[in-house]
């Protein structure tokens, strides 16, 4: 047993994303870049999104380091984001957050794809923040893109 007793199939999937992260790197011309960290665990994520005029995510990449939960979560998240509108991306974030807070219904939702491998983390409160870090960055990125789209803002 490792520090977290997840089912072995899910554990493998998490480690696979941790060792071979998808979409890791910078975007040449990101619409928005959001940096988030989780000092409790030492996780660090920089999310890069390219969003077109219809508010659709055309590319999503990340840079980062930290525990396997945080890095696998953001890797899996970037896989799900491509082609989604900001509304759809935020719905995914909401669904994932529900799963992290123990919703069994959310844990069965196929729209989460491989992210469902992280459902066991909901039983370990100190690690939930690790799993949510990439989604926190996504929510902040969506807010910034919308602020830009709303025209010149005061801040
Ligand atoms: Zn962590």
Q: Helix, strand, coil: what percent of the chain each, to 5?
A: 55, 20, 30
CA atoms of 73 and 134, how far apart (whole Å): 7
Query: Does the pLDDT of residue 1 top 70, yes or no?
Result: no
Share of the chain above pLDDT 90, in %: 89
CA of residue 37 to ligand 1 center, whole Å = 9
What residue ranges do the domains of the chain occupy? Answer: 3-150
Q: Which residues of 65-100 are buried (b: 16+ CB within 10 A; e: fewer)?
A: ebbbbbbbbbbbbbebbeebebebbbebbebbbbbb
> Structure pTM?
0.92
CA of residue 46 to ligand 1 center, whole Å = 14
Q: To which H or E segment does residue 96 belong? A: helix 86-100
Q: Which residues have CB less than 5 Å away from ligand 1 (the ion)?
A: 41, 43, 67, 70, 130
- Please tell me the predicted confidence (pLDDT) of residue 2: 46
Q: What is the pLDDT of residues 52-76, one digit of tens each?
A: 999 999 999 999 999 999 999 999 9
CA of residue 153 to ligand 1 center, whole Å = 34
- Fold topology of 3-150: Sufe protein. Chain: A (3.90.1010)
Share of the chain above pLDDT 70, in %: 94
């Amino acid at each position: 047993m490792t520090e977290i007793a997840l089912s072995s199939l899910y554990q493998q999937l998490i480690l696979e994303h941790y060792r071979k992260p998808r979409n890791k790197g910078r975007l040449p011309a990101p619409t928005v870049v959001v940096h988030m960290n989780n000092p409790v665990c030492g996780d660090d994520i920089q999310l890069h999104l390219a969003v077109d005029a219809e508010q659709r995510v055309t590319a999503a990449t990340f840079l980062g380091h930290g525990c396997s939960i945080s890095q696998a979560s953001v890797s899996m998240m970037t896989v799900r984001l491509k082609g989604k509108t900001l509304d759809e991306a935020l719905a995914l974030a909401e669904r994932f957050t529900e799963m992290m807070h123990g919703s069994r219904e959310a844990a069965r939702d196929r729209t989460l794809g491989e992210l469902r491998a992280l459902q066991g983390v909901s039983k370990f409160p100190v690690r939930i923040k690790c799993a949510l870090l990439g989604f926190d960055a996504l929510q902040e990125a969506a807010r910034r893109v919308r602020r830009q789209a709303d025209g010149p803002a005061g801040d």
